[in-house]
Structure 1
Amino acid sequence: MRRWNDMMLKTKMFITFSVVFLLTVLLACTILYFKNVSDTKNQTYALSSTITKQFSRTVELYIHEMEAMSVSIFGDPLVQRNLLDHYETDNPVEQNRIELSLSSRLYTLMHPQPKVQSIYLFTLDRYAYYVSRSSGPKLTDSLEKEDWYTGHDYDYKKKFLLLPTVVEDIHDIESPKVISFVRSINRIPSRSTIAFMKININVDVFRDMLVQSDSNEMEKNMRVFILNDEGTVVYDNKNELTSGTLQNLSAAMLPGGKASSSELTWNGRKYLYTIDRSAYTGWRTAVLIPNEYLLAQIKRTQLILILVGLAAVMIIALVSYILSYHITIPLHNLMKKMIRVEQGDFSQRMEVRSNNEIGRLSRIYNDMLGSISRLINEAYQSRLAEKDAQLSALQAQINPHFLYNTLNIMKSISRIKGIEEVAEMSESLAELFQYSMKNLQHPVALKDELEHIRCYMNIQQHRFFDRFELHCDIPDELLQSSILKLTIQPLIENAIIHGLGKTKSGGVIRLRAHRSSGMLQIEVTDNGRGMDGEKQQELRSMLRTPILSGELDHDTRGIGLLNIQQRIQLFYGGNYGLHIMSLPGEGTTVKLEIPYLIPADGKGRDAHEYISRRG
């Protein structure tokens, strides 16, 4: 409710009109959709049922032809006489004559049926005569090797058997799939069984019976199956499941199912299906039609309705905008001016033309803007004064303990080694003080900070001798980049005192600088003792917490780092400062990030000129 109250008037009018109209269009589309779906399904069921019945009748007619062909073989006098001769002779020559005679006769009877692949005649004494259209080898020579045969006392209650689809020759990958028509051959006129006949029919005969139009998407994508009572696929028009079984189908598709038409989901797709069972063959013919091809016409109607609805919404949007324009234009102007004020332009003022609610609001806005401008100016002046005070306070904190340490060194050296080294250290110390005390709040070129580090390292080398080395890697093009005074030297001092303080030899401090994405990044790395996670977390927390008073931790490392952090953020902003990375026993890296700036009159020299030979 609050969001609705916060919306602009134009938006409210647009939403109200659009919702009412869209609900009306949606209701009409829904009614039309379900009506079209119902009509389309009924029409599809009718078409599918017609296809199923016609195909089932065509299959029956073909099996009738096979039965007629089997009767011709059954009753052929030559076949009868040769089968009887087979049982009456053991002479190989006579057997060969019988085989040639039967082969010739069977081929003559098979020739008018192009889809009959082969014919086998099995005698009861384990012998088989056969003829094949492909002239391939005899695949079986005994009745007992046939899966369908259960013994001499087998009771064939039917005129014939229809066996499931198999590959005729499992050893030949190009051998066709066939169904088998099996029946007994009885002696005429006694009716006693003298042999069995198996006619292998190429399963492609069903493909020729099923006439499909490739131009019709529905017929092109429908699935046609012939199933026997055991659920084996006799024929699949896509030739994917022939001789296999159908999985994940509804009970209506399985043997004993009662429904003749319904819907099912198979392999992730929805289908409408119809089933017809042939009382003659015992086979079930099923036709499955994908739902997606049924809804193509409905989708076209939906598209038209959607386009009409979108056009109406656009008209409503235009009308609502025009109606609300004259009502909301003063408020819109006020909003634009307030946006400009939000961006920092405080010169925006409303023109007061009336004394109504909008006029009063404009006068209040103008008065408020004047008050805000005055308060911002006062706060700005106060902030400048506070910043100057902070800089002055921070400058007074810079490294007082360093002067103390240096004086102690000078005293020790003067007692042990003599005046020359004291003079050298005094000279370096004088340069340090001259650099530190002059215009500390103003940036200098990076080369000047390197010169200051040279003086500092000259003093430290007298103190620590060869216990550590300083390596500098600063490109010449960065020498003129701008940097605050005394931001690098305290980092090197921390590395010497806290990182390498207990190192007797082999200490290394590396000073690197590079430019990245408009930012100058300076890294000071030592190979000293490093810091544990708790100490790192303490320093990072301290750097994130501004401390403007003198109440600092006694750890001099913290004082130096915090001093640099505060000076950088006061001068450049809160997005810049120090980052600490350390591993115990492996050393510490302190990264300093500031904007990359170049003074207009800067001149550069080689970076190595600013580091002492021993550093």
Structure 2
Amino acid sequence: MKSWNNYLLKSKMFIVFSAVSLFIVMLTCIIFYYKNVSDIKNQTLSLSDTITRQFSRTFELYMQDVEKLSVSIIGDPIIQQSLIDHYRVTDSVAQNEIELTINKRLFTHLQPRPQLQSIYIFTTDDIAYFVSKGGGPKVSFKLREENWYEKRLEMPGIKFLLQPVTTESTGGEHEAKVISFVRNINRIPYRDVLAYMKININVNVFKDMLVNSDSNEIERNMRAFIITDEGSVIYDDRNELTGSEDSGIDLSIFQGSGQSGELIWNGENYLYTMSKSSYTKWNTLILIPSEFLLKKQQHTAYILILVGLLAMGLIAFVSYTLSYQITLPLRNLMKKMARVEQGDLSQRMEVAGNNEFSRLSRIYNRMLDSITRLIGEVYTSKLAEKNAQISALQAQINPHFLYNTLNIMKSISRVRGIEEVAEMAESLAELFKYSMKNLQRPIPLRDEMDHISHYMNIQQHRFGSRFEFSMDVPEALQDASILKLTVQPLIENAIVHGLGKVKSGGRIVIAVRRLGDDLIIEVSDNGCGIEEERLHMLRKRIMGIQAADVLEEDGLGIGLSNIALRIKLFHGVKYGAELISANGRGTTVRLTFPYERFVKVKGEAG
């Protein structure tokens, strides 16, 4: 597979522009889609809730009107007197007259109301007075055969009872589904029960209350129910379940506090809104199939996909054109540079304007001018290089000459018996020999310690017993790898700066230890120490924060910073030097190296 770095800049720009733009378009479409779906769902539930509440309220008002009708029947003085007479007379002729009178009054109340199917009055002695529309026969004959009879004892505390759907004949083969409104007929003004009244209401009354608009998609697709808490269907707008004892709907929705949500009915998903009537205690339920919402969501998705494809096409075209225009000058520059690579230095870019490519072209042209000029100067530089080599050879002669002279002085001193001069000459010769070669190559710690011994041999001849010197170097660490001339300058600093003013009792200690993967070398003295302000500046210099000219020119800060810099450059910023001191309490310099055993390079001189 082709590596990303191998793609042309034009291809990279096109891919990146297209990918980023596509991501933004897709993210925007997804957010818009889910926002739109949420809005559709909320709007649907809001409209459904409005329809539910209106339907429930309309039914309440109708039932309140029926209650008013019942009150007017109860308060009818003719019916009141006729019922009183019913219990007094025993003559059958008189009873017939009472029945005719009651039926006539009931028919007067029934006739103006089209959705009332029939009215019954049951006396406590099992006589039923009855009027019906359409000539339907009497269905109920005795009070004790009524399904609501057992609840009559509760009626004194309740204004009325509403009974679920039953079937009543309207004459011939036709039947009507009715709900029943039942209440007591009390004797006025004594409040004792004279009889019970049942008003049958045709369920078709609900059709007039719920008028669906064909122009509204929600109303065309919704299902409307009136259901009791026990699950009996009072009304189904499609007349499929009206009168059914089991609607198949989860009855828990009528017990909870939620007025809307989602449910599964007959294996399909629906949104529902529900309103419980505080007057009738029945539940008005509106169901909207989720499939209806899915169709709307699909319509939105098709529009978003179309918009997304158009946006992607436009973005791809713009990205390709833009990347081509941006990389065209670069391709021209690459062609010019390829010819320069073959030796044609006359290739120049045309410069127009002051944009980035124009500036790059000017830099390219100046670069070629510089190359042409440098080619003319190369022969002169070769001559200067030869002269420098000669000077370097001469500079190497002087140390070697001095080293050889010291060896001659050592030999003469020993021949003539001047042993101290011979030892100093030998130590000084070893110092020069150690310092002349391989400054940047690692050495074993043993060599650096030997070099320090030679140095201290000379210093002890110079200072006598003014200070003591000791080394604590475990034999196991003698072959550890360090950089040359990183420890000896610290000894020199300790003598010059730490013990310079000490007349006796001075002490210099070298301590080496291993700490994990690190090699720690500490050089300590018990000299005058360093003042806090100067110590702060020295530490900044060691860390490379402060310039050399900020410190006094006594060599201490320069030497330490050079050692720290060499260690960091060779081993990394984790390693280096640390300065610890207090005024009048001496000074300790701690060097940190990675612990590695020294391995001699093949062919390297010893």
TM-score (norm 1): 0.47
TM-score (norm 2): 0.48
Structure of higher RCO (CA pairs closer than 8 Å, 6+ residues apart) = 1
